Amino acid sequence: MSKRWIQIILLISLAFNLAVLGSFVFIRFYFRDHGCPVPPPPLAGGKPGGFIPPEIMQRIKGDTDFLSIRDSLDSKRRLLMRELAKDPIDEPKIQSILQDIHNKQTAFEQKMASELIAFRKNMTADEAKEFFTQRAERIMPRRFDHSHKNFQQKRRRK
């Protein structure tokens, strides 16, 4: 190959490499605060870090009452969105749907709390302290909650 062809291929390769690097830089800075929340790291001991313990999840999956509450809540939310999509909104009907959603959400939270209490009764004090403290730290703040420490840290970095 002649020297000229090698220079042309080198320049094309350099252009592609710069394009790839530029796209990484663009994605890194453009999508910095617009992405999904970072999943929580594993808990102590390498256990997965979801808020609901696996033992409770197994009991919930087999509990038809719990699943029916969740499914009913989801269907009421869909119904609410469909009602809000209509042009002449029927406010009394929307208020009725909102009250149903509130009642279903309350039942859902009560069921979950009773499962957590039953789970806590089978733990030692140290296990409970570690388990529930870690999960309390993992509860994500609201997106515009400026009092949370992660928000304050982001503000300092800018």
The model scores a pTM over 0.85: no
**Cβ atoms of residues 53 and 45 within 8 Å:** no
Angle between helices 64-85 and 54-61 (to 10 degrees): 80
pLDDT at 6: 92
**And the tokens for 133?**
């403290």
pLDDT at 63: 76
pLDDT at 150: 53
The residue behind tokens 């499962």 is 115
- Nearest CA among 40, 68, 60, 35 for reference residue 116: 60
Segment 124-152, tens digit of pLDDT: 899 888 888 887 877 766 555 555 555 55
pLDDT at 149: 55
User: How many Cβ atoms sit within 10 Å of the Cβ of residue 19?
Assistant: 10
Q: Dihedral (C-alpha) 70, 72, 74, 79: value to the nearest 10 degrees?
A: -170
pLDDT at 61: 74
Question: In degrees, to the nearest 5, what angle opens at C-alpha 45 toward C-alphas 42 and 47?
Answer: 45
User: Which residues of the chain fall below pLDDT 70?
Assistant: 31-53, 140-158
Q: Dihedral (C-alpha) 122, 127, 133, 139: value to the nearest 10 degrees?
A: -50
